[in-house]
Amino acid sequence: MALGVSCTTRIDLLIADVTPPCCGILVAFQLKAWRPDLRTILTSGYPVNMWDEQQAAELSEIPSDSVRVLQKPFLPKDLLRTVDELIGAARDKRTAARIG
């Protein structure tokens, strides 16, 4: 669904689960091909070091400054903090580009 919506709608933040069958990493990677500035939060019940090789390889293809992995279970304040980190970083980059 996110891939279809992305063509017609502005998306500032993608929150996707890593769990198959529709792996959030793959969705993020494909969306970033169209929208390189897209910030992404990937959620997972498994620590990154327990992901399979394919998931780890796909994650390594996404620029690390635009993606965060949020370990489940998480509290609402953890999600809000992560959103603020990503959106704030993007805002700071845009401001610096305008000034510089």
- C-alpha 28/C-alpha 64 separation (Å) is 12
> Cα–Cα distances in Å, from 9 out to 5, 22, 66, 84?
6, 20, 19, 21
Mean pLDDT of the region 3-21: 73
Q: What is the pLDDT of residues 62-78, one digit of tens each?
A: 777 888 999 999 999 99
pLDDT band per the 50, 70, 90 thresholds, residue 4? low
At the top level of CATH, the class of 2-99 is: alpha beta
pLDDT band per the 50, 70, 90 thresholds, residue 3? low
- pLDDT value of residue 56: 79
User: What are the residue boundaries of the structural domains of the chain, listed by start?
Assistant: 2-99
Q: What percent of the chain has pLDDT over 70?
A: 77
Q: Which stretches does DSSP call E strand in 10-56?
A: 13-17, 39-44
pLDDT band per the 50, 70, 90 thresholds, residue 99? low
Asked whether the predicted pLDDT for residue 41 surpasses 90, the reply is yes
- pLDDT value of residue 92: 62
